[in-house]
Amino acid sequence: MPWPVTFGGGMSLSQVRSGIDVAVLRHDWRLDEVEALFALPFNDLLFRAQSVHRLFFDANEIQVSSLLSIKTGSCGEDCAYCPQSARYEANLRSEALLPLAEVLAAAAAAKQEGATRFCMGAAWRSPRDKDIERVAEMVREVKAMGMETCATLGMLTDDQTVALKQAGLDYYNHNLDTSEDFYAEIITTRTYQDRLDTLERVRDAGINVCCGGIVGMGESVSDRAKLMLQLANLPKHPESVPINMLVQVEGTPLHGVEALDPLAFVRTVAAARVMMPQSRVRLSAGRNDMSDEMQALCFLAGANSIFYGEKLLTTENPMTQRDKQLFQRLGLHLGGSRYN
């Protein structure tokens, strides 16, 4: 159960929850407000984030997902952080779309370790219709195993989106990556509006949205604030908000960029929690380079989801046993109901 809180006027927690929707679930944030949020004293920001978090979630519960690269490399995009781009020499071996049996074996292993959601990622700018047919089969079979399903496949057409919905896809991941102002410094082969259009298409089809970004790419604090502003001011908050810390890969343009202050990352997590209080805020890429103490601060700031498994697409991720040991030390338990 969430931490007991005493509220004025004899209000119960359920009454506060119903009333806080109006007070907290906003889609009209202003940039000056968000920049002020980021600028709060660290303790004040974490207190505010943790207070909001406890109104909507069990503060000691973590939802676990697993992410598998079902098609690796040879991507035509030029995302400056990504070793899967065909434009960079990142010493990555390209692989065709995996066979169904291999995907299902990975999903079964993830479920055995406690993951409740299985995410499938493919390095495509835009998949072909015949690719969608194969991914849809994967979605149906993984869903039949009793797991939530998620996919990240690039830009979709209306028909492709409907096909994935009909197959039972629960979530579609399509990150904004950064602010619109900084976006051209990172990607030139796809516009910011392309990404927003894909999110709208997914939402219109009735698929839940997983959308966040990457910090530590050389962006300013204002850029991080603008990213959170864009996400929180969508017509509906993403159900999942992955916050990634840049993993620097040799051969990509962002290799060698100045490392991000860990507390700046925690501030971003806290801002996401305050601005999108009912969303799952997920610690995603970069955890392999985070200390246990940094991750603990992120959980205190309102992160309540992670990815299990030794790989996140193509980059290193903490081993499952290390995560379980950390959860035990922190008194965290696995959980998470559908769509929250």
Encoded tokens for 218: 């050389």
> Rounded to whole angstroms, how far apart are CA atoms 56 and 277?
7
| Euclidean distance between CA atoms 178 and 219, whole angstroms | 8
DSSP symbol at 303? -
Mind telling me the catalytic residues? Answer: 75, 79, 82, 119, 150, 210, 282
Q: 193: closest CA among 226, 230, 218, 162?
A: 230
DSSP-derived 3-state class of residue 197: helix
- C-alpha gyration radius of the chain: 19
Q: How far apart are alpha carbons 286 and 243 in whole angstroms? A: 9
Chain-centroid distance of CA 157 in Å reads 22
The residue type at 163: A
* Residue 221 vs residues 37, 192, 298: alpha-carbon distances, Å: 11, 19, 18
| Residues whose CB is less than 8 angstroms from the CB of residue 66 and which lie 6 or more positions away in sequence, other chains included | 106, 107, 110, 113, 115, 117, 118, 119, 307, 308, 309
